[in-house]
Amino acid sequence: MSQFKIFIVEDDPWYGQILEYHLSLNPDYNVNLFSTAKACLTKLHEKPDLITVDFSLPDLSGDKLFQKIKEFDPTIPVVVISSQEDISVAVGLLKAGVSDYLVKDEATKDLLWNSVIKIRENQSLKKEVETLKEELGQKFSFEKSILGNSPVLKKVFTLIEKSIRTNINVSITGETGTGKEVVAKAIHYNSDRKKKSFVAVNMAAIPKDLIESELFGYEKGAFTGAMSRKIGKFEEAIGGTIFLDEIAEMDLNLQSKLLRVLQERELTRVGGNESVKLDVRVITATHKNLSEEVRKGNFREDLFFRVMGLPIDLPPLRERGSDVLILAKHFISEFAKSNKIPPLSLSTDAKDKLLKYPFPGNIRELKAVIDLAAVMADEGEIKGEDISFFSLQKENVFLMENKTLRQHTCDIVNHYLKKNNGDVIETAKVLDIGKSTIYKMIQEGEINTE
């Protein structure tokens, strides 16, 4: 751990030496004693972590020295130590931004010791937060959060890069499981707003009668149970980004209130009169066709144009070609690390099986499939037989696959055979084909009846 550098500015040599000795008892503290404000100011380039200032100095008053320190570096914490007991002086300095105000008496050195500990802890927490924010930004860089190199995905990258240059609203569309929130986070954490909050709200998950108070907050007594003021999601996101997922599910009445907030760039909490100014970037997402919802009367046209901004349409996984394998390998690596198991590889037949499947559940389904396959795998390799697809897809999902007409015909016959518990005659009747055709498919191995 690097030493914590402390400057003590005290014109009383005896008192200054007491403070210097007391703080120097901690080997992590590097303490420097100055008798004048000027001597301290000439050494600010050494970047002290904390400065204690005597309020009554011969060449400059403590409050003036504090101002000059803040002009040089506003992040340096300053503790004022004074023989004055005037509470108004202490209040004024604390309002101005000093970290602590201590009155000179026999308890001062112990109070200063505790104050230094608290300031150091706060600085460590701030550094940790900054580090985490930096790591979060790296995590959501395009290369790490949105994997793939297919042509359709490269078009998405181009739009994301355009979106981070300005504060334009962004609307993300795409099937469920295509990674809409991941894209929203990538935009936020690569923009100028990355140091502020990213607030995600799933509009479909909040009861209609609670959405307004959830988004805009409420005042104490606004309704039964409102025991105190609560800020809403928009206020939480001030300076940052709010992500409104599944915005098409929003009630028409609330749509008009959201429109006003976006137009006026201010809100009023439920049950209140005070207007709160907003500086918030809005990113919306939906798996529905929003323009079609406007035509149906389910979504306001004026709100549609307000939130549309820069539209980004995410391609389904079935249109991304070999990106399936890139994502699969990533999920395999993640699973192995989190479960502390040896690395796994994909066999050729496993790769073929993944590439042929349309993944109606998109990336979310792929991850679930890979996690299960990793559990089922033996000898460090995932084989085709380890991969199982879930049965939640629509019955006609096989039509998305790139197969010949004969292969599709076999799939259809096989589907109805299973549906009819292997009854060839009933299946032939339903499909209006000869039962001999079905028997021939079975004999030639085109249909798996197991």
Q: Tell me the CA distances in angstroms from 177 to 314, 367, 371, one per residue in order.
A: 10, 10, 16
**Residue 296 has what pLDDT?**
93
Beta-sheet strand order (sheet of 78-82): 29-34, 4-9, 50-54, 78-82, 100-103
Nearest to 248 by CA among 213, 296, 182: 296
- Within 8 A by CB and 6+ apart from 8, the residues are 16, 19, 20, 23, 31, 32, 33, 34, 51, 52
- Residue 450 tokens read as 């197991």
What is the rounded CA–CA span in Å between residue 112 and residue 133? 31
Task: Give me the pLDDT at residue 244, please.
Answer: 97
* Average pLDDT along the chain, 450 residues, taken 10 residues at a time: 84 90 90 93 92 89 89 91 78 86 86 90 74 55 72 92 94 94 92 92 90 92 86 95 96 94 94 92 95 94 96 94 93 93 93 92 93 93 91 51 75 81 86 87 78
Give yes or no for a contact between 294 and 307, defined as CB atoms under 8 angstroms apart.
no
The answer for residues whose C-beta is within 8 angstroms of residue 150's C-beta and 6 or more apart is 315, 319, 320, 321, 322, 323
The whole-number pLDDT of residue 86 equals 72
Backbone angles phi, psi at 319, to 5 degrees: -100, 5
Identify how many contiguous H helices and E strands the chain contains and give both numbers.
Answer: 19, 14
Asked if 248 and 134 touch (Cβ cutoff 8 Å), the reply is no
CA neighbours closer than 13 Å in the CB half-sphere of residue 11:
14
